[in-house]
Chains A and B, each alone.
Chain A
């Protein structure tokens, strides 16, 4: 009996927000604003719930002696220290900034560096994995953009910058627009399905 109730609530709220965007009736607009504010608050609360979930997952992993539980212990200790320091001193205090500048930024930067290597590796293997015309085009374009983006030892190859600009402004933008149009259609379809109750990612 609960499911129809949830569906009715979801459909009604979805309709109010959608119509409030298009029709500028005072009652609809005000309702929409209130509902959106609720959504923002719920979103912030969900962030806290998610963080608690993260902590609990690693707590259980550590206490039940699962494989690599040591890393979970590191996470739990780091979590508690950061919570105490930022909670006590404030987010802009020198201690909080030290944690951010010397732990989080370097770790994430390292993962970015790792990603660079992986993408180069993927590029090397692409010829072998997908030996077709599209792959050749893909890699050819990537190499061209790489050559033309940097200073290239100060050498100015005639036409290279113009070619890069053309690729970035015409085929890349055209492809991006095409994909975005497809994504937009898919987004509308998904939204309408949720609005109609055909998709119900809530209430079990």
Chain B
């Protein structure tokens, strides 16, 4: 056959194709070898009638993966059931299906593969075991090794058996006991022989006469036939193996025990101890004092912009980081926000993260030396729900999106109320003198820049956009800073940036405290990776080389 039809789209493909050229559906079904099984957790009671088990659009390879027999409620033909046919003959291959055997959901699939499969002949040994000759079963897509081995045909089986056949007289006595009664040779005497003596009628007692009663009228024990199949040793082995497999399916398998302490565990613990130990030692002893890093252009730009802010400037401060990264972010932002507070800026706090508003409160409470109080020097407007869309909504109409503070106080100025001092005169984003975003996530940083930019691009806008980011955001943020015109007017990244800013302003205790241990930890981590990696790969290479030599010798 030169072509094979796709069961999904119905188009013709070359016979050797594994997947459809049109829709990529798999043309040749996969068969997986059985592995351990576990007791079912929940099995539905029944399938509602008429439910399509093969939904449209499902690809072949997925359909093939579904175990046919596990579909509950599916009415399977009797001879399809693994474990034997109706008359209790030997079990067949699980994939053996005839036209009637195909489940409904499979039969509904378009295509011809089932018909083609049916045309494949059944292995000889299977024919013999099932006695099936009328309807050749389908050939499985893949068969296990032992099934694919050439099997002896009937003639060979006969010959094989005849080689081992013993003469009746040679049977040992213990074996004779097992001989079925029906196997005993019938000893009906031949007519006319001297041994045949008439036992009834007038000729009773005479030998060599015609019998008065026909043979079949005489009472005798009915013959019995052996139930023992005539199978070769090879077939017996295969059958036993198959039976073992089937029985093991229903047997509860012990759960695999989790491995105890391995070399990987030891390595993990060693790395953790070295890394944490180094940082802890550095923090406790304070011996790793190091000079703060030099500031860079983007950091200096932030400093310049804050220095140029007018007194009592309105600044929108977004706290968009997670508690897990609060250590890095607080160290990066401390000196910058401290500078803002020194300038007496009024702060409006927002966040697109549910934990952001609380992190903002925590941050401001840790800024000792400034007496910023809620609803006087700063306003916490809370959480902006809805991710980027929510952010867009806030940028376009902040009053509508967040009308109240975190303590449910009306925040914005209106005809009915004066509003809070930090937001007086602010109606839209352009009314803030500065937007500062403290952010740990590259996607969030991008979202802020992209949503805020259209507002900042409006003519006569003097609002600047400044970012304080995690070190991992640097690569994303830099193109916005280097663009012409700048989309981000300045940024401070990571602890390094925070420390550089602290050096610039001469303030900010947190980055100074962290800088030494941080640097020491980085060096230890780098050395660990370098030395550990070299040692591990050397050990691996050494372990591999004897194996390679051994294989080469073989």
Chain A directly contacts chain B within the complex, with at least one CB pair under 8 Å: yes
A92-B380, A121-B271, A149-B471 given; A37·B522 CB < 8 A:
no
* Residues B478 and A112 in contact, CB atoms below 8 Å apart: no
Minimum CB distance partner of B539 in chain A:
A128
A40-B386, A149-B471, A151-B516 given; A127·B523 CB < 8 A:
no
Binding stretch for chain A, among B227-235, B338-346, B527-535: B527-535
A117-B272, A128-B536 given; A112·B389 CB < 8 A:
no
Min Cβ gap A173→B in Å is 5
* Residues B529 and A143 in contact, CB atoms below 8 Å apart: yes
Task: Please tell me if A133 contacts chain B, counting CB pairs below 8 Å.
Answer: no
How far is A118 from B522 in the complex, measured between Cα atoms in Å?
14
How far is A67 from B532 in the complex, measured between Cα atoms in Å?
37
Task: Please tell me if A101 contacts chain B, counting CB pairs below 8 Å.
Answer: yes
Min Cβ gap A45→B in Å is 9
Minimum CB distance partner of B397 in chain A:
A33
* Residues B293 and A124 in contact, CB atoms below 8 Å apart: no
Q: Which one, B291, B396, B479, contacts A154 given CB within 8 A? A: B291
Min Cβ gap A160→B in Å is 12
* Residues A97 and B475 in contact, CB atoms below 8 Å apart: no
Task: Please tell me if A90 contacts chain B, counting CB pairs below 8 Å.
Answer: yes
Task: Please tell me if A186 contacts chain B, counting CB pairs below 8 Å.
Answer: no
Q: Which one, A92, A117, A149, A173, contacts B407 given CB within 8 A? A: A92
User: Could you say which residues of chain B place their CB within 8 Å of the CB of A33?
Assistant: 393, 396
Give residues of chain B (431-483) contacting chain A, Cβ–Cβ below 8 Å. Answer: 471, 474-476, 478-479
Minimum CB distance partner of B362 in chain A:
A101
* Residues B275 and A117 in contact, CB atoms below 8 Å apart: yes
* Residues B496 and A149 in contact, CB atoms below 8 Å apart: yes
Task: Please tell me if B246 contacts chain A, counting CB pairs below 8 Å.
Answer: no
How far is A1 from B296 in the complex, measured between Cα atoms in Å?
62
A108-B322, A127-B536, A153-B523 given; A43·B529 CB < 8 A:
no
Summed over the interface, the residue pairs from A and B with CB atoms below 8 Å come to a total of 162
Give residues of chain A (79-107) contacting chain B, Cβ–Cβ below 8 Å. Answer: 90-92, 96-97, 100-101, 104-105
Question: 1/0 contact trace for A127-153 toward B, CB 8 Å?
Answer: 110010000000100110011011111
User: Could you say which residues of chain A place their CB within 8 Å of the CB of B534?
Assistant: 127
Q: For the complex, would chain A's binding face be called helix, strand, loop or mixed by DSSP majority?
A: helix
Task: Please tell me if B121 contacts chain A, counting CB pairs below 8 Å.
Answer: no
Question: 1/0 contact trace for A28-43 toward B, CB 8 Å?
Answer: 0000010011011101
* Residues B358 and A149 in contact, CB atoms below 8 Å apart: no
How far is A98 from B361 in the complex, measured between Cα atoms in Å?
12
Q: Which one, A43, A109, A113, A127, contacts B323 given CB within 8 A? A: A109
How far is A111 from B515 in the complex, measured between Cα atoms in Å?
21
* Residues A111 and B324 in contact, CB atoms below 8 Å apart: yes
* Residues A127 and B537 in contact, CB atoms below 8 Å apart: yes
User: Could you say which residues of chain A place their CB within 8 Å of the CB of B272?
Assistant: 117
How far is A175 from B475 in the complex, measured between Cα atoms in Å?
9
* Residues A147 and B537 in contact, CB atoms below 8 Å apart: no
How far is A123 from B271 in the complex, measured between Cα atoms in Å?
11
Task: Please tell me if A176 contacts chain B, counting CB pairs below 8 Å.
Answer: yes
Question: 1/0 contact trace for B315-326 toward A, CB 8 Å?
Answer: 000000011111
A109-B326, A121-B268, A151-B290 given; A127·B533 CB < 8 A:
yes
Q: Which one, B276, B390, B401, B496, contacts A43 given CB within 8 A? A: B390
Task: Please tell me if A193 contacts chain B, counting CB pairs below 8 Å.
Answer: no
How far is A37 from B296 in the complex, measured between Cα atoms in Å?
41
Q: Which one, A112, A124, A152, contacts B528 given CB within 8 A? A: A124
How far is A70 from B528 in the complex, measured between Cα atoms in Å?
37
How far is A171 from B118 in the complex, measured between Cα atoms in Å?
59
* Residues A92 and B361 in contact, CB atoms below 8 Å apart: yes
Residue from A90, A124, A169, A180 whose CB has the most chain B CB atoms within 10 Å: A124
User: What is the interface residue range for chain B against chain A?
Assistant: 35 or more
* Residues A151 and B529 in contact, CB atoms below 8 Å apart: no
Give residues of chain B (505-554) contacting chain A, Cβ–Cβ below 8 Å. Answer: 515-516, 518-523, 525-526, 528-530, 532-534, 536-537, 540
User: Could you say which residues of chain A place their CB within 8 Å of the CB of B392?
Assistant: 36
How far is A125 from B325 in the complex, measured between Cα atoms in Å?
25
Task: Please tell me if A116 contacts chain B, counting CB pairs below 8 Å.
Answer: yes
Task: Please tell me if A54 contacts chain B, counting CB pairs below 8 Å.
Answer: no
Minimum CB distance partner of B408 in chain A:
A90
How far is A126 from B540 in the complex, measured between Cα atoms in Å?
12
How far is A113 from B324 in the complex, measured between Cα atoms in Å?
9
* Residues A39 and B327 in contact, CB atoms below 8 Å apart: no
* Residues B523 and A109 in contact, CB atoms below 8 Å apart: no
Q: A143-B526, A169-B478 are in contact. List 16 more A-B contacts (CB 8 A).
A: A41-B385, A43-B390, A44-B386, A92-B374, A100-B355, A100-B358, A100-B362, A105-B362, A113-B276, A117-B271, A123-B532, A127-B536, A142-B526, A142-B529, A143-B530, A165-B296
- Chain A interface (Cβ < 8 Å from any Cβ of B): 33, 36-37, 39-41, 43-44, 47, 90-92, 96-97, 100-101, 104-105, 108-109, 111-113, 116-118, 120-121, 123-128, 131, 139, 142-143, 146-147, 149-154, 165, 168-169, 172-173, 175-177, 180
Between-chain CB contacts (< 8 Å), 18 pairs: A43-B387, A91-B358, A105-B326, A116-B275, A120-B528, A123-B528, A124-B267, A124-B536, A127-B533, A128-B533, A143-B530, A146-B529, A150-B521, A151-B291, A152-B523, A169-B478, A173-B478, A173-B479
- Chain B interface (Cβ < 8 Å from any Cβ of A): 267-268, 271-272, 275-276, 288, 290-291, 293, 296, 322-327, 354-355, 357-358, 361-362, 365, 374, 380, 385-387, 389-390, 392-393, 396, 401, 406-407, 471, 474-476, 478-479, 494, 496, 515-516, 518-523, 525-526, 528-530, 532-534, 536-537, 540
Which 5 interchain pairs have the tightest Cβ spacing?
A150-B519, A151-B290, A40-B386, A124-B532, A108-B324
